Structure 1
Amino acid sequence: MEFSQFDDNQNLSLTKFESMLKTNNILFFDSNEFENIIHHYLEVGKIALAKKAIKLGLDQHPASTNLKLFQVEVFIFENKLNEADVLLNALYEIEPTNEEIYIQKANIYSKKDQHEDAIRVFKQALEIANETSDIYSLIGMEYLFLDKFEDAKSNFKKCLEIDLEDYSALYNIIYCFDFLEQNQEAIDYLTVYLDKNPYCEVAWHQIGKQYITQKAYKKALAAFDFAIISDDVFIGAYLEKGKVLEKLEEYHEAIENYKITLALDDPTSFALLRIGHCYEKLGQDDLAVQHFYKTVEEDPLLDKGWIAITNFYNKNKNYSKALYYINKAINIDAENVTYWKLYAQINERLNFLEEAERGYKRTLELGNYELNTWISRGDILIKLGEIEAAKLNFVQTAEFYPDNEEVEYRLAGLNFLLNIPEEAYINLNNALHINVEYNFIIEELFPSIFNRKSVQELITKFKNASK
């Protein structure tokens, strides 16, 4: 079922229908009016109003197949698949050559994750359909569900053979090429397509992105220029061109392109952030940080903006300001692991060890199990004299990083401090066996242990053995 955009008469029908709902007066609409009203509500996601229109429509036109097909569509949307199936079977008995019946039947199979059956029924619909482009697209989507990207690609290509300006199909084709890592094949396909449709900004934009993958940056720039020639308000082309110019270290030109996007539409946090980074690369720190501020004003939830501000002050050794802004970020999103890691590092630089340890602990709780995180937290616990907690930290570390010399040396030192020599010597032997050159860890963290005669003898033994 295909419908045009609402014209004045259709707007009048919609106004009349909504007025009827408010007054409870039953007015007559022909079946086409109901179909357009229902289609409008489904398009804008007003399912409850669509259902009311279907009910009233069927009350007035009980034999309308199209209205019943809308009923099927709503059943499928609400996952009432059995009701949809029963109604479709009844409609099939009346109109066995109605392609929409096959399409909705296939949609039910798809909803049940029976994608092969969905494809089979869609292909039956193809045999009787006058317009096949949408059906090829639906088949392509089913193949995507099955991870059969070559089959998906071939069906989306058929969409473009029917309608050269089906950009949804074009995007899906490129998605398949990308997933299959067929970069050159994508370029070849787009080149042929552009011979047929030379002013397609979408195709120029996509071929430019493929050239970026090949690091053919000059070709990418040319492609984005052609996209802009085809549509001089195409924001995506300016953004991609800016990113390429950054890679080429042409920061002034990159800024110009990002600024064009700000003039064409409402400012985007991405463009503001990239402008800030470009100014930073140019050594214009005031302009850089101004744009980082604008980034978080535009989108306070964009973590890259807060991270950029924090890193800016970190780089300039203004740790107090860095801490101020990372605290603001954490107040907005306390589950962001990168924020907590920065919080820990900044506090460590400021020698706020308790807060630094808290930050590293929270980083681990949020799933960042990098070795450096474990080691940083453990070393702070050692400095704080929390020997038991430090040992527990490194025991947990060893579960993630077994046979790691940095962990074993630390466990050795901690076990000596805790007066557990049996475990200490096992750890020390393991550490020396893995890498004798890392014995400086004990010297730095546990100097009194390092100077013990037995420890020195063991280190010397392993050093001599490694010569």
Structure 2
Amino acid sequence: MEYSSNDNNSLPLTKFESMLKTNNVLFFDSEEFENIIHHYLNQGKMSLAKKAIKLGLDQHPTSTNLKLFKVEVYVFENKLVQADSLLNELYQLEPMNEEIYIQKANILSKKDEHLQAIDVLKKALELTDDVVDLYSLIGMEYLFLDQFENAKTYFMKCLEEDIEDYSALYNIIYCFDFLDQNTEAIEYLNLFLDENPYCEVAWHQLGKQYFTLKDYKKALAAFDFAIISDDTFVGAYLEKGKVLEKLKRYEEAIEFYSITLKLDDPTSFALLRIGNCYEKLKKDDLAVQYYYKTVHEDPLLDKGWIAITRFYNRRKNYQKALYYINKAINIDSQNVIYWKLYAQINMRLNLYEEAERGFKKTLELGNYELSTWISRGDLLLKLGEPEAAVYNFEQAVEFYPENAELEYRLAGLYFILNETDKGSFHLKNGLKYNSEYTFILDELFPEVCHKTQVKNLLKTKL
């Protein structure tokens, strides 16, 4: 039983907390202790739950249910040996108690012994008529093992027993999605909806499956039915907005996104999508207004900062773009996309040192795209740092071996540094990998092209 502040049944809880304050020991029956402990565990108040378990066992030392709560706390605290030992004692007393098996399975799961946990849970199934929770636990164990077909089977059993078990329905669709079984998911959902035609969650999930398959007409119909089933279902309005966007029906998309702002607290996702729709409609003032609202609503949402930065970037207002990407970096300095945008904007402003810093930071954060290595190396060359450019391109070759663009750049740099053997080596590599890219030397290293050794090597190209 879950206590609430305006529930007469909360009297034992109030009495218990009063007892803790006064140190007067009062008597509770074992069921009252169970409800008190359950309440504290649900609230995450572990120390109070432990106090209630101790006092409960002091007054009811033979209560199996109170001891099972003690096992649960042991498992939570990762004291698996103590939990296992107490469970073995309880099993000797009550070998037909399914809760003992459930806790045993919980311990096995904690040890990553998921197959054994499943075996134990299947034994518990034989001891109870309340099978829904057990089916769900078995399904979760199969998920841990990445056995999605088996997991799906048990979550389906949950739904057969309780058609309102939406967590089971979500898990079923998760399995279908992971297995790329969109068509099978649609068939399953349609069968489910034949029996439960007003299940808004099922209609919503059906719409998402059609959306994945780009069947936007059927997706719209499914989301409409979800809204008919529950006209306050925010998720259905959002998804319908996404479909309308795909169909370039931006005015209608804005209408459905806007409904969600009235139904619930504004979400940064809806604000961002409205801004994007207005931008598509070339209503820039409204677009940027919603982008501002997006970053105000959720400063940690990178898509908001990216949208507003790219908005100004596309309009060649690079100073404003730089202003907003700097704000974004101040909030999250580990975001790779922010640093890439920072570098690109600074390049357009001819702020080459800052641009190079941006590309360098992008690489440090693990973004090893070829274009990033090339952009940074070319900037280092422009900044008069050929040795640093060589080091940059040599690192890039480790990720992109046999790449002509890198080889020609290394060739040119080594010739500039008068390391002609290395220059010749990389020029030969470049010619071997792709002889069409020799224009790189003309563009970046025109002085190198006049060297006799380079001319002779270039004559050998096919």
TM over 0.5: yes
Contact 1:293/1:309 (8 A) holds in 2: yes
* In structure 1, C-alpha distance between the alignment counterparts of 2:411 and 2:183, rounded to whole Å: 55
Residue in 2 that maps onto 1:187: 186
1:59 is aligned with what amino acid?
D
CA shift at 1:454, angstroms? 3.8
CA shift at 1:407, angstroms? 0.7
2:243 is aligned with what amino acid?
V
1:41 is aligned with what amino acid?
Y
1:54-107, CA deviations, whole angstroms, 9 ceiling, x for partnerless residues? 111111111211111111111111111111111111112222211111111111
* In structure 2, C-alpha distance between the alignment counterparts of 1:461 and 1:152, rounded to whole Å: 63
Residue in 1 that maps onto 2:166: 167
CA shift at 1:180, angstroms? 1.1
Residue in 2 that maps onto 1:248: 247
SS at match of 1:168: helix
Residue in 2 that maps onto 1:40: 39
Residue in 2 that maps onto 1:301: 300
* In structure 2, C-alpha distance between the alignment counterparts of 1:290 and 1:450, rounded to whole Å: 53
* In structure 1, C-alpha distance between the alignment counterparts of 2:181 and 2:220, rounded to whole Å: 21
* In structure 1, C-alpha distance between the alignment counterparts of 2:79 and 2:387, rounded to whole Å: 59
* In structure 1, C-alpha distance between the alignment counterparts of 2:452 and 2:422, rounded to whole Å: 18
2:447 is aligned with what amino acid?
S
Contact 1:374/1:393 (8 A) holds in 2: yes
* In structure 2, C-alpha distance between the alignment counterparts of 1:330 and 1:4, rounded to whole Å: 45
Residue in 1 that maps onto 2:49: 50
* In structure 1, C-alpha distance between the alignment counterparts of 2:237 and 2:56, rounded to whole Å: 48
CA shift at 1:448, angstroms? 1.2
Contact 2:2/2:39 (8 A) holds in 1: no
2:193 is aligned with what amino acid?
L
Residue in 2 that maps onto 1:239: 238
* In structure 1, C-alpha distance between the alignment counterparts of 2:21 and 2:207, rounded to whole Å: 53
1:262-300, CA deviations, whole angstroms, 9 ceiling, x for partnerless residues? 111111111111111111111011111111111110111
* In structure 2, C-alpha distance between the alignment counterparts of 1:113 and 1:431, rounded to whole Å: 51
CA shift at 1:461, angstroms? 3.0
Contact 1:335/1:366 (8 A) holds in 2: yes
1:403 is aligned with what amino acid?
E
CA shift at 1:456, angstroms? 3.1
Superposed counterparts of 1:320-331, under 5 Å:
320-331=319-330
Contact 2:75/2:107 (8 A) holds in 1: yes
Contact 1:413/1:442 (8 A) holds in 2: yes
* In structure 2, C-alpha distance between the alignment counterparts of 1:65 and 1:393, rounded to whole Å: 67
1:152-182, CA deviations, whole angstroms, 9 ceiling, x for partnerless residues? 1111111111111111111111111111111
SS at match of 2:231: coil
**Where do 5+ consecutive residues of structure 2 fail to align?**
none
Question: CA 1:234–1:37 in structure 2 vs 1: closer, same or farther (change >3 Å)?
Answer: same
Residue in 2 that maps onto 1:385: 384
* In structure 2, C-alpha distance between the alignment counterparts of 1:193 and 1:249, rounded to whole Å: 32
Residue in 1 that maps onto 2:93: 94
**Where do 5+ consecutive residues of structure 1 fail to align?**
none
1:223-263, CA deviations, whole angstroms, 9 ceiling, x for partnerless residues? 00100111111111111111111111111111111111111
Structure 1 position 262 matched with structure 2 position 261: yes
Deviates more, 1:311-320 or 1:427-436: 427-436
Residue in 2 that maps onto 1:214: 213
Structure 1 position 347 matched with structure 2 position 346: yes
Residue in 1 that maps onto 2:224: 225
Contact 1:10/1:33 (8 A) holds in 2: no
Residue in 2 that maps onto 1:124: 123
Residue in 1 that maps onto 2:399: 400
Residue in 2 that maps onto 1:24: 23
Contact 2:3/2:10 (8 A) holds in 1: no
CA shift at 1:4, angstroms? 5.7
1:186 is aligned with what amino acid?
A
* In structure 2, C-alpha distance between the alignment counterparts of 1:46 and 1:259, rounded to whole Å: 39
CA shift at 1:453, angstroms? 4.0
> CA RMSD of the aligned region, Å?
1.2
Structure 1 position 65 matched with structure 2 position 72: no
CA shift at 1:15, angstroms? 1.6
Residue in 1 that maps onto 2:10: 11
Contact 2:193/2:199 (8 A) holds in 1: yes
